[in-house]
Amino acid sequence: MDHTFNFWLGVVVISTIGTLAHFVYDWTNQNKIIGLFTAVNESTWEHIKIALTPTFLWALYDGFVYGMEPNYFLAKFASVLTLIILIPGLFYSYRSVAKKDVLIADIAIFFTSIILSQLVFYVLITLPTQPFIVNYLACFGLIVLFGCYMTLTLAPLKTFIFKDPITHKYGFRGHFRLLKKKSKK
């Protein structure tokens, strides 16, 4: 099995779908079902979500290719967790120094997080077989993460990670076009 090819294919597919997921909500006239899986505002959470959506979709491919590997769930869980930790960690780290958003840094964080997430997956998938309980807990962790991913757009926590920096609102209400519509009335 060519891990290198699958690694780079995953990076390209996840990055491409994630980049498109930043715009699809607007392209579909703010369709709420589409918004569950794509960015609905400019909060940090929505940028995590546009990396998670293609990563979960990519699991359909790598589950088919690697699903029988004994460490599959551990590798996939750690890969998803890597995105969830790296994107805000790197973003808020550079922001604490720069004191402002730098678009090129935001883009670099997105792609770097995807590359490192995929790297974590391929390192863990090749480890010697881990105990069953580790993979069982990782499978459970994936289910929990997916459940949180599905609900946090509909019911975002009232914390800085979920707050749109432009509208200062949360979730669907944080979308900038909603403000434009209200200001026209």
* 78-134 residue pLDDT tens: 999 999 999 999 999 999 999 998 999 999 999 999 999 999 999 999 999 999 999
User: Which has the higher per-residue pLDDT, 42 or 153?
Assistant: 42
Give the mean model confidence (pLDDT) for residues 143-168.
92
- Residues 114, 83 contacting (CB under 8 angstroms): yes
Domain ranges (residues) in the chain: 3-184
pLDDT of residue 67: 87
Three-state DSSP class for residue 102: coil
Would the pLDDT of 41 be above 80?
A: yes
pLDDT digits 0-9 by tens, 43-84 = 999 999 999 999 999 999 999 999 899 999 999 999 999 999
User: Which has the higher per-residue pLDDT, 180 or 17?
Assistant: 17
- Residues 52, 80 contacting (CB under 8 angstroms): yes
Determine the Cα–Cα distance for residues 101 and 53; give it in Å rounded to an integer. Answer: 24
pLDDT of residue 2: 76
Three-state DSSP class for residue 170: strand
Extract the tokens encoding 185: 């009335």
Three-state DSSP class for residue 89: helix
As a whole number, the mean pLDDT across the chain is 92
Extract the tokens encoding 41: 């505002």
Determine the Cα–Cα distance for residues 177 and 171; give it in Å rounded to an integer. Answer: 13
pLDDT of residue 172: 87
Would the pLDDT of 138 be above 70?
A: yes
Helix axes 44-66, 132-151, angle to 10 degrees: 140
- Residues 45, 161 contacting (CB under 8 angstroms): yes
- Residues 139, 131 contacting (CB under 8 angstroms): no
Sorting pLDDT into bands at 50, 70 and 90, what band is 13?
very high
* Chain-centroid distance, C-alpha 11: 13
Determine the Cα–Cα distance for residues 131 and 140; give it in Å rounded to an integer. Answer: 15
